[in-house]
Amino acid sequence: MKVLVTGVKGQLGYDVVNELTKRGIEAVGVDIQEMDITDAASVEKVIGEAAPDAVVHCAAYTAVDAAEDNVEICRKVNADGTQNIANVCKKLDCKMVYISTDYVFDGEGTRPWEPEDERHPLNVYGQTKYEGELAVQNTLEKYFIVRISWVFGVNGKNFIKTMLNLGKTHDHLTVVNDQFGSPTYTYDLARLLVDMVLTDKYGIYHATNEGICNWYEFACEIFRQAGMKVEVAPVPASDESQATGEQPHEQSQADRERIRKASFLAGCVREISERNPVNRFCVSRKITGNTSGSGIGNGTAPILANVHHRAFKRDGVQSIQIE
């Protein structure tokens, strides 16, 4: 099997290529230097020459705030670029995995978001990712749409790196404490995506690491495990003028009575700060694919996809727990 991965220089694409290679699967990693996804001719040439059995599309315009001022380029990358890739996948009759986001929802409600729930994006980034989902759904039959949230890894920018960098120059930080989510390690997510692409269990999935926290709790745990003495003060999102660092919008989540502090960063902070690989990531390193229509996965999520870690097998077994 051969799999082409877009956005290989990003945190998720990098880990997906590594996971494919580790399993002996031929991986072709490309970034903008090799293939400009907004250029239909470039996409057709590169993917056509590679002739993959599947494409894992990780590349995206992910600067949420900047997207509000750069609507055209954001749409060109997230919607038009995705359409270009879907068109070639259809022509080659190959599978496509499209990485989407919880930003396709409005973050309101009192129950977990299900994959089939109606999408109501509130910002440009969410709207263009929604349009990318439609491009995939309207073009292909052999597709996986995987919505993720709060991802972090060794490559690329993320909240952990932001906090570690700020901690070097600040003794005191304020971080919002009323936005909740499930931080998700790209190493774990990559394993799920590779398991998934080996099957034909197509559909829409939600996937995150297990455990829920708010940004304040996340920051405190980062500094604790990094051994950095930084005082972190909680502030509400409504007082963003006092908040420090990245302050994402209210994430899609529901029953806050179920929210608990999750200590799931063991080793990862060290890996990111020291670039030393670790064998295990977290206490709760379970990921679930929860899809509409395919029958894979069981249970619902207290937020976007915070259910139990499942993987997919070729032999028809719907799900198995990965350790």
Averaged pLDDT of the chain: 77
**pLDDT over 60 (residue 158):** yes
Query: Which member of 14, 98, 125, 130 is catalytic?
Result: 125
**Whole-number Å distance between alpha carbons of 1 and 227:** 43
Q: Could you tell me how many helices (H) and strands (E) the chain has, helices first? A: 10, 13
Q: In sequence order, what are the residues at sequence separation of 6 or more whose Cβ sits closer than 8 angstroms to the Cβ of residue 248?
A: 64, 150, 179, 181, 215
**Whole-number Å distance between alpha carbons of 172 and 242:** 12
Amino acid identity, residue 307? V
Task: At 312, list the tokens.
Answer: 């997919």
**pLDDT over 50 (residue 300):** no
pLDDT 10s digits, 75-94: 999 999 999 999 999 999 99
Burial 63-90 (b: 16+ CB within 10 A, else e): ebeebeeeeeebbbbbbbbbbbbbbbbe
**Whole-number Å distance between alpha carbons of 32 and 30:** 7
**Spans of all domains in the chain:** 2-154+183-210+285-291, 159-179+213-274
> What's the mean pLDDT in 272-278?
39
Which pLDDT does position 240 carry in this prediction?
Answer: 54
**Whole-number Å distance between alpha carbons of 98 and 94:** 13
Around Cβ 269, how many Cβ atoms within 10 Å? Answer: 23
Which pLDDT does position 37 carry in this prediction?
Answer: 97
> What's the mean pLDDT in 17-38?
96
Which pLDDT does position 93 carry in this prediction?
Answer: 97
**pLDDT over 70 (residue 319):** no
Identify the band that residue 140 occupies on the pLDDT scale cut at 50, 70 and 90.
Answer: very high
Confirm if 151 and 210 have CB atoms less than 8 A apart: no
The burial class, CB within 10 Å (0-12 / 13-18 / 19+), for 245 is: middle
- CATH fold of 159-179+213-274 reads UDP-galactose 4-epimerase; domain 1 (3.90.25)
Which pLDDT does position 263 carry in this prediction?
Answer: 28
**pLDDT over 80 (residue 318):** no
> What's the mean pLDDT in 155-159?
84
What DSSP string describes 8-28? Answer: TTSHHHHHHHHHHHHTT-EEE
Element (H, E) at 127: helix 124-139
**Whole-number Å distance between alpha carbons of 125 and 64:** 6
Q: Give 245 or 295, the one with higher predicted confidence.
A: 245
Which pLDDT does position 191 carry in this prediction?
Answer: 94
Class of domain 2-154+183-210+285-291: alpha beta
> What's the mean pLDDT in 178-203?
91
Q: Is position 125 annotated as part of the catalytic site?
A: yes
Range scoring the smallest mean pLDDT among 13-22, 93-102, 180-189: 180-189
Which range in 19-23, 150-154, 223-227, 275-279 is most confidently predicted, on average pLDDT? 19-23
**pLDDT over 70 (residue 293):** no
Which pLDDT does position 50 carry in this prediction?
Answer: 97
Q: Longest Cα pair distance anywhere in the chain, in angstroms?
A: 55
